[in-house]
Amino acid sequence: MSELEKESLEAHVDLCSERYTTLVRELKNMGARMEKFEQTLSELRDMMIRLKTDRQQQLINWGIGIIGVLASAVGALLFVLLTK
């Protein structure tokens, strides 16, 4: 608090009003930044879920492919053994 504020109530009130206005403006700016941050986090979350789902589907497809190849190999071996 400055000496002018200590001596004059009007000066104190004016400075407090300016400080309050600045504080409100900064809080509004922070609110806007927080909304943008929340939006970014939401987008990251959605992307991570999509990537996880894609990866799981890829693993399932690989598993089905491997099982198919193994089943074909077993079938071919059985055919060879049964035809001899």
Domain encompassing residue 77: 3-83
pTM summary value: 0.56
Instruction: Return d(Cα 46, Cα 39) in angstroms, integer.
Output: 11
Instruction: Return d(Cα 38, Cα 28) in angstroms, integer.
Output: 15
Q: pLDDT digit of tens for each residue in the chain (84 aa)?
A: 677 777 788 888 888 999 999 999 999 999 999 999 999 999 999 999 999 999 999 999 999 999 999 999 999 999 999 987
- Look at residue 1 in the predicted model and tell me its pLDDT: 64
Number of folded domains in the chain? 1
